[in-house]
Structure 1
């Protein structure tokens, strides 16, 4: 007898939850069942075919007659649980043709829209007035091919200020709700807001917080971007310590004039998609937005830098979203740069002669 290798055990008074994260089923065990399972985990050979608990654990797939091999995995168990636990969306009746798919999807959308939608506004607990941004400037003369070829990660910045017009252009073309697409009749009611980047289910689950360190016409601070109004709202002053302290020691951010924390409103995803695979879509959307931001910044003649290495709890406090369904996923920034991928300190170390 063997223990299923795809089990995750979660203590929940008065018992425990055993989750088979590969097959997406879970069971709640009382003290008797939990105690028996503990003994069988220690020694599967104690299995007794006359014990009703043992039989039920076997029927539930918690125990297996044959050994189940799990794939090689180079990271920790938590990442393995996340990856496998978000695989294979359960579908009781897979559509057999496009007509069936259309009916099922329409039925799903109707069911979702019958439930109260999460609020469009975030609860940021601030009474600050919103700051209207200037209209974005046109980039029609810029070549997408040039932007794609020139985009690179830079870690050396001059600290030169960025104009508010460039900031407005960056925010509108990456996170803004495009006015040019307001009258698109091919989308469901209530989901008309469209960005330049794709979004799972058209939910626009990702949001943005601006790091303003040296912007002409805007006081330094942390601002929430409101894409429907194309406006900013002051959330917090800049932290006393350099931001490099909360971004994994990456101190070349310290003179970056402009940055964007990309967050995800998980409550929007929960509203439409109950399966945990939708968690992946938050990161996919953040990636789309990040690339769009970088291409626009490159077209504006700015160097770009991005990272996913930061202290989540400190960033959550800085953005005033701690304890909420909105969570930080990524950071991207830009500024005038000499184009070097390495900071000067790293170059100095590499040029040192061995002793």
Structure 2
């Protein structure tokens, strides 16, 4: 805090999560790990430049002879308060110690952590008013791209003549926000997990031996995704939070309580989510991918993978006659506290859920 006393022996270092940008002819500093932003001044930039390693207050004052020690301490307290500087031995410093695997993914690190805070101050949205306000500013972009003055080859439409489960499931998939009364049977939840996240086979990888495969592709077969299940209305499964063991197709019970209202709030206050039967939250264990791929583009692969798995979930739920949905509107850090994951090596990415279909 800004009021904290800084002794000469206090050891300090700048956060590893800093980015600078220019806005309205001023330089600003963003801590993308905390979401805090501060305007930059010459003394602030001088101090941050020095703090590439742990330094004592005494050493910092000695390295900045052009500034009055009292002003240096005053700015240092502000930097601590804004989270731009860390004090050794604090929880914030300990958390950043685990960031080292992200150094090879520096560009992805900025995007990943900066976008965690998007829904921190979210308020309930009137969709009609919001869309109308957007239209007043500008028309929406066209949904489809067309090339003018190019040859057009018309194709026959196969859909009316297609038969079987596969095309039916694809065309019937919808996002549901209202659900029927009652519980889904545990057998259907088991099927959702088995066909979406379970290990289905193995393959031999050069030098690595056997690696697991699932129904959706995983870049380099690194399998970074984990899934956690909140059971609200599942016949045969007690309410609570579970982790899915994809290698053995079983659930590990982590918590005996589960509040639908609280989970709806963690899904950016989408109240309707509180009426679902089960919520599935996917996380990524990044070191599994970082171990092999030392470049930021691999982060894209993890996000794409979550999309592959989610689509498999939605289609499986549709095939089972259930009402599925998915959402990326999440309070990431609160979900991570709920799951007791660190948000650095394992982080929340995506959520999907299911309920019974409404009649008709």
Name which of 152, 155, 175 aligns with 2:177.
Answer: 155
The answer to whether the 8 Å contact 1:256/1:333 transfers is: yes
Query: Are residues 1:209 and 2:245 paired?
Result: no
Name which of 37, 41, 50 aligns with 1:14.
Answer: 50
Change (3 A) 1:337 1:242: farther
Name which of 262, 278, 290 aligns with 2:282.
Answer: 262
Task: Report Cα offsets for 1:261-313 as digits up to 9, x if no partner.
Answer: 01100111111111121111111110000000001110000111110111111
Q: TM-score normalized by structure 1?
A: 0.55
The answer to whether the 8 Å contact 2:183/2:233 transfers is: yes
Q: TM-score normalized by structure 2?
A: 0.54
Q: Which residue of 1 aligns with 2:134?
A: none
Q: Which residue of 2 aligns with 1:279?
A: 299
Query: Are residues 1:165 and 2:187 paired?
Result: yes
Secondary structure at 1:192 match in 2: strand
Query: Are residues 1:251 and 2:251 paired?
Result: no
Structure 2 residue ranges without an equivalent (≥5): 1-20, 32-46, 54-62, 65-106, 113-162
CA shift, 1:81, in A, is: 6.4
Change (3 A) 1:302 1:142: farther
The answer to whether the 8 Å contact 2:333/2:343 transfers is: no
The answer to whether the 8 Å contact 1:164/1:218 transfers is: yes
Change (3 A) 1:190 1:250: farther
Secondary structure at 2:211 match in 1: coil
Secondary structure at 2:176 match in 1: coil
Name which of 296, 306, 331 aligns with 2:316.
Answer: 296
Name which of 230, 237, 244 aligns with 1:218.
Answer: 237
The answer to whether the 8 Å contact 2:226/2:285 transfers is: yes
CA shift, 1:15, in A, is: 4.3
Q: Which residue of 1 aligns with 2:339?
A: 319
Query: Are residues 1:144 and 2:147 paired?
Result: no
Task: Report Cα offsets for 1:195-238 as digits up to 9, x if no partner.
Answer: 00000110110110011111111111110001001010111233
Secondary structure at 2:212 match in 1: coil
CA shift, 1:14, in A, is: 3.1
Secondary structure at 2:171 match in 1: helix
Task: Report Cα offsets for 1:177-207 as digits up to 9, x if no partner.
Answer: 01xx34x446763442100000011011011
Q: Which residue of 1 aligns with 2:40?
A: none
The answer to whether the 8 Å contact 2:231/2:258 transfers is: no
CA shift, 1:334, in A, is: 1.1
CA shift, 1:322, in A, is: 3.0
Q: Which residue of 2 aligns with 1:228?
A: 247
For 2:164 and 2:358, locate their aligned partners in 1 and report how far apart those are by CA, in whole Å: 21
For 1:339 and 1:261, locate their aligned partners in 2 and report how far apart those are by CA, in whole Å: 27
Q: Which residue of 2 aligns with 1:174?
A: 196
For 1:80 and 1:263, locate their aligned partners in 2 and report how far apart those are by CA, in whole Å: 16
For 1:187 and 1:196, locate their aligned partners in 2 and report how far apart those are by CA, in whole Å: 22
Secondary structure at 1:327 match in 2: strand
The answer to whether the 8 Å contact 1:9/1:16 transfers is: no
Structure 1 stretch displaced more, 323-332 or 258-267? 323-332
The answer to whether the 8 Å contact 2:108/2:297 transfers is: no
Structure 1 residue ranges without an equivalent (≥5): 18-30, 33-77, 84-140, 341-355
Secondary structure at 2:170 match in 1: helix
Q: How many residues get paired?
A: 220
Change (3 A) 1:188 1:199: farther
Secondary structure at 2:230 match in 1: strand
